[in-house]
Amino acid sequence: MSNQPAKRIPKSLGTDAKLIGSYTLTDAAVALFPGVVVILFTQTILPASLSVGGYRVQTLTLPLAALAIAVGVLFVYLTPSYTTSLDWVMLMARFRTTDTEKGHEGAKEHTQIEEVHLDRDVLERTDGAFLAFVQVLPPPMALATDEEWELKASSFQDFLNTTVTFPIQIFSTTQAFPVETYLDHYRERRNDPDVKDNPRLQGLIDNYIEWYERDLAARQMTIRDHYIVVSVTPEEVRFERESILNKLVGVPILGTFVQAWNAPPIEDQRATMFDTLEERVRRIEAGIREIEGCQASRVDAGEATTLIGEFWAGQELEYGDISQALRTAPLVGGPR
């Protein structure tokens, strides 16, 4: 199976029959299911003579079932808008029953990262492709006019049409704004002698801190970082993209013999891949810098590894010195 990125196709398009508002028959089934379980449990598994607090269990069936259905209704009501109640149940069940800690081989299956080349700032995928990250720093556009937005969009379109002649991916991250770090400077100012001797200035600083905390909570300010992921695959350096040999590779059976017959030595192939990736990164950086106000810089392999780790972990990770966390020699046997 190919590991190349592909278009994601939704499993459904929201065609379920609606009962009330946006709630479907599936939502009703999820809400009623706990009540059905309670009824079956009390009527078929528990003995008829069992009593609790002087009350026979069977007489408590309906109240318990009603309570269970109320819990199911609440669950359906709290289901996030981006998923269905049934999918949410299945997701939580898998989360509770699946091991969240993966070994090295298990982690590779998820991340598809085979090796990190710290000396070349390159990540190698399990399918043999090389990856590099380029961070893009866009200009501030909060006060930009419609004409300025249109100009930037047109410039980016020209960049895609002229510079990018190979596959790329655009990756954006969002992290919370460090409010406390920003406000610590003003909190420390309150201890300065000139502030202590000036109650009015101290009051202004206190009011500013309170206002800033409320304003950030209302706006939910975040920090966004944007990256372009550049890649090169072994197939791209074995044959030219539009060559006859490249087309023959896609032919069943025959393509296998063509690859085996014309494949270069692995050392030469990897060296060519490194060089090709470097050239593509330089073209991306130059093309981005041609857009007015934009800057681009290569991301080192350590930071790129952290980005991928945080993507799969769903939270910020603290590795300390990432270059020390990434082993460049076997654990046993010393350096090669």
Query: Which of 96, 128, 109, 119 minimizes the C-alpha distance to 231?
Result: 128
Report whether pLDDT(328) > 60: no
pLDDT of residue 67: 93
Residue 242 has pLDDT above 60, yes or no: no
Q: Give the whole-angstrom CA distance, residue 298 versus residue 137.
A: 11
Asked if residue 31 lies in contact with residue 72, where contact means CB atoms within 8 angstroms, the answer is yes
What confidence score (pLDDT) does residue 240 get?
52
What pLDDT does 336 receive?
Answer: 43
The CA distances from residue 81 to 23, 27, 143, 185, 312, in Å, are 11, 13, 32, 39, 22
Q: What angle do CA 73, 77, 81 make, to 5 degrees?
A: 145
> What per-residue confidence (pLDDT) applies to 258?
58
Alpha carbons within 13 angstroms on the beta-carbon side of residue 227 total: 19
What is the spatial distance between Cα 293 and Cα 149, in angstroms, rounded to a whole number? Answer: 12
The better pLDDT of the pair 39, 258 is held by 39
DSSP state at residue 84: -
According to the model, what pLDDT value does residue 112 have? 86
* Contact in structure between 103 and 261 (CB atoms under 8 Å): no
Would you state the structure tokens that stand for residue 104, as one six-digit string? Answer: 């090295």
Tens digit of each residue's pLDDT (9 = 90 or more) over 53-96: 777 777 778 888 899 999 999 999 998 888 888 888 898 888 88
pTM metric for this prediction:
0.61
Instruction: Evaluate whether 71 touches 40 at the Cβ level (below 8 Å).
Output: no
How many other CB atoms sit within 10 Å of the CB of residue 123?
Answer: 24
- At 97 the pLDDT is 81
Asked if residues 163 and 287 have their Cβ atoms less than 8 Å apart, the reply is: yes
The answer to whether 157 and 151 are in contact (CB under 8 A) is: no
Question: Distance between CA atoms of 119 and 84, rounded to whole angstroms?
Answer: 46
Query: Does the pLDDT at position 284 exceed 90?
Result: yes
Question: Of 13-17, 44-48, 184-188, 268-272, where does mean pLDDT reach its minimum?
Answer: 13-17
Residue 127, CA distances (Å) to 130, 233, 270, 309, 336 in order: 9, 8, 13, 19, 24
Residue 253 has pLDDT above 70, yes or no: no
Residue 103 or 139, more confident: 139
User: What pairs with residue 115 in β-bridges?
Assistant: 124
- Between β-strands 130-137 and 55-56, what pairing exists: parallel, antiparallel or unpaired? unpaired
pLDDT value at 148 more than 90 = no
pLDDT digits (tens, 9 = 90+) for 154-206: 988 898 888 888 989 999 988 877 777 878 888 888 888 888 888 888 888 88
Task: Name the residue with higher pLDDT: 245 or 48.
Answer: 48
* Among 116-120, 154-158, 265-269, the least confident range: 265-269
Measure CA of the first residue to CA of the last residue in the chain; give whole Å: 33
| Residue 264 confidence class, pLDDT cut points 50, 70, 90 | low
pLDDT tier, 250 (very low <50, low <70, confident <90, very high otherwise): low
- Closest by CA to 276, choosing from 162, 170, 122, is 122
CB neighbour list of residue 94: distance below 8 Å, 6 or more residues apart = none
Element (DSSP H or E) covering residue 174: strand 168-176
Tokens standing for 76? 């359906």
Helix (H, G, I), strand (E, B) or coil at 130: strand
Task: Determine the pLDDT at residue 262.
Answer: 62
Mean pLDDT over each residue of the chain, to the nearest integer: 80
